[in-house]
């Protein structure tokens, strides 16, 4: 039997719905989400396999340009996803204005330069006031020759969800499956713990803290049907510790409780979760400290190539 298999990068500006789309089409939580920008920091591999095809998705951080070391790390993760991909999905949130901003145009030029097959995915189409509005938007975008296809989708109404795999399958190369048929993601349980705790910080804390905090999982031990986890939230400013802890420790307790409940639903076991907070001055501006927390920048040559 002839099979298809390929890598599909999911890229776009921050907060266009990349992780939500991935979770929806997989019917699994593999990438955390929040209403805030830049929730996703790492390239995340997730796999869906049917009888004849294997779709290997690469979720990536939102692309925006900055000279900050941590932002450069996230951009390199997105560019690394593009480098690996057989097909690139460029996500753009629905708007009545059928235009790309300067960064989106730079992404499109980069995809053309790399001769990458790409599909424009219009997300959040439930925001359209009428089908004609959506149809008019698509007719304008379809004139752009950079894309193989335009796919409108809504994760809220599930619009076009069933069609999604059929359309992507057209562009996958013939190839044996890369992974076992029951394989879901390359990220281990420790990574999921880190991400779930970060997700609760994004959902519960405002100001700059979600973007300036990292999580280290120091202990992950399974004894019979219970998992014991010790984690540390690392912050870049001394003042952020008090905000995370909250009055009487209530904020940290809420982060821990909600993270524990979600982890129990994902890991299918009881979880005992202990969280501490550590201050590490400007860790997100220091490459060595970033590496210690688990953020290792991809090939710096990718950044140089992108800005040529």
pLDDT in tens, 130-155: 888 888 888 888 888 889 999 988 88
pLDDT in tens, 166-202: 999 999 999 999 999 999 998 889 999 999 999 999 9
> Looking at residues 23-34, what average pLDDT do you find?
84
**DSSP secondary structure string for all residues of 38-49:** T---S-EEEEEE
Residue 207 tokens read as: 């100001």
Q: Which residues contact 138 (CB under 8 A, 6 or more apart)?
A: 122, 150, 152
In this prediction, residue 264 carries a pLDDT of: 95
pTM of structure:
0.90
Count of CB atoms situated within 10 Å of the CB of 91: 22
- Chain centroid, CA 308 distance in Å: 26
Task: Report whether 69 contacts 185 (CB < 8 A).
Answer: no
Q: Which domains does the chain have, with CATH numbers?
A: 4-169 (3.40.50.300), 189-293 (3.30.300.20)
Closest to 36 in 3D by CA, of 259, 279, 208, 179? 208
> Looking at residues 48-57, what average pLDDT do you find?
95
Three-state DSSP state, 215: strand
Give 106's strand partners.
Answer: none
E strand or H helix at 300 = helix 300-306
Q: Which residues contact 305 (CB under 8 A, 6 or more apart)?
A: 79
Three-state DSSP state, 163: helix
Three-state DSSP state, 192: helix
> Looking at residues 289-308, what average pLDDT do you find?
83
Is a pLDDT exceeding 80 seen at residue 35? Answer: no
Is a pLDDT exceeding 80 seen at residue 162? Answer: no
Instruction: Please give the sequence-ordered ranges of beta strands (E in DSSP) within the chain, or none if there are none.
Output: 4-12, 44-49, 53-59, 87-93, 118-123, 149-152, 213-223, 226-235, 270-279
Q: Which residues contact 23 (CB under 8 A, 6 or more apart)?
A: 29, 30, 31, 33
Which band of pLDDT confidence, cut at 50, 70 and 90, is reported for residue 81? very high
Residue given tokens 């140089």 in the structure block: 304
Is a pLDDT exceeding 90 seen at residue 96? Answer: no
């Amino acid at each position: 039997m002839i099979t298809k298999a390929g890598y599909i990068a999911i890229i776009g500006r921050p907060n266009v719905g990349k992780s939500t789309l991935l979770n929806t089409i997989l019917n699994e939580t593999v990438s955390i989400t929040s209403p805030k920008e830049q929730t996703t920091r790492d390239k995340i591999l997730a796999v869906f396999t049917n009888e004849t095809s294997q779709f290997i998705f690469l979720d990536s951080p939102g692309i925006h340009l900055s000279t900050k070391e941590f932002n450069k790390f996230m951009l390199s993760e997105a560019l690394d996803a593009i480098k690996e991909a057989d097909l690139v999905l460029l996500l753009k949130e629905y708007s009545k204005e059928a235009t790309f901003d300067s960064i989106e145009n730079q992404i499109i030029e980069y995809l053309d330069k790399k001769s990458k097959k790409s599909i424009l995915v219009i997300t959040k189409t439930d925001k359209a006031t009428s089908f004609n509005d959506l149809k008019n938007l698509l007719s304008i975008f379809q004139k752009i020759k950079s894309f193989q296809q335009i796919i409108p989708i809504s994760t809220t109404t599930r619009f076009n969800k069933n069609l999604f795999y059929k359309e992507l399958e057209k562009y996958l190369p013939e190839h044996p499956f890369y992974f076992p048929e029951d394989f879901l993601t390359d990220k281990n349980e420790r990574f999921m713990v880190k991400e779930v705790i970060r997700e609760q910080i994004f959902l519960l804390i405002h100001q700059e803290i979600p973007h300036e905090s990292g999580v280290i999982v120091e202990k992950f031990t399974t004894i019979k049907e219970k998992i014991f986890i010790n984690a540390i939230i690392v912050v870049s400013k001394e003042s952020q510790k008090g905000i995370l802890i909250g009055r009487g420790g209530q904020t940290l307790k809420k982060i821990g409780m909600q993270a524990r409940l979600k982890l129990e639903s994902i890991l299918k076991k009881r979880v005992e979760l202990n969280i501490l907070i550590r201050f590490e001055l400007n860790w997100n501006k220091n490459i060595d400290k970033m590496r210690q927390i688990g953020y290792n920048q991809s090939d710096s040559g990718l950044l140089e190539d992108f800005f040529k």
